[in-house]
Amino acid sequence: MNKKNTTFLNSLYMDFLTENELDLFLKSLDEIWTAELYTNLKQNGLIRHVISKVWNKGQHRITQVFEYESQDSFKKCESILKDAFTPKNCPALAKFVFKIFNNRGIVVSEYKSD
């Protein structure tokens, strides 16, 4: 693997107590993930951010995938997000109860169709 082309990823799972909580969270995305926040993250190496609703029966989960330019970019963005998502800085997020599971890694194999 060419280290220069290494893709750094963070896959995050958020589990909510109920479907209603999850749906309310999804309706609040624009308050939580602001254009200003995305601009700051982009300037520090965020390439892509994807939020998906998991449709497995009995789960109230969303997944988020973050793709970064480098490990240094990941560290910078992690610090930005930690500050951005305090109850004081993001009251919209503070009203939700959820569990977070984080998985950080690098892409070792990838397939893309044409």
Residue 3 bridge partners (DSSP):
none
Higher pLDDT, 2 or 30: 30
pLDDT given at position 1: 44
Question: Alpha-carbon dihedral of residues 61, 72, 67, 32, nearest 10 degrees?
Answer: 50
Which pLDDT belongs to residue 70?
92
Confidence band for 55, pLDDT divided at 50, 70 and 90? very high
| Domain architecture of the chain: domains with CATH | 3-106 (3.30.70.100)
Distance separating alpha carbons of residues 97 and 76, to the nearest angstrom: 26
DSSP 15-75: EESSHHHHHHHHHTHHHHS-HHHHHHHHHTTEEEEEEEE---TT--EEEEEEEESSHHHHH
**Binning pLDDT at 50, 70 and 90, where does residue 112 land?**
confident
> What is the separation, in whole angstroms, between the first and last Cα of the chain?
22
**Sorting pLDDT into bands at 50, 70 and 90, what band is 22?**
very high
- If you average pLDDT over every residue of the chain, what do you get? 92
Q: What is the pLDDT of residue 7?
A: 83
* pLDDT confidence band for 65 (50 / 70 / 90): very high
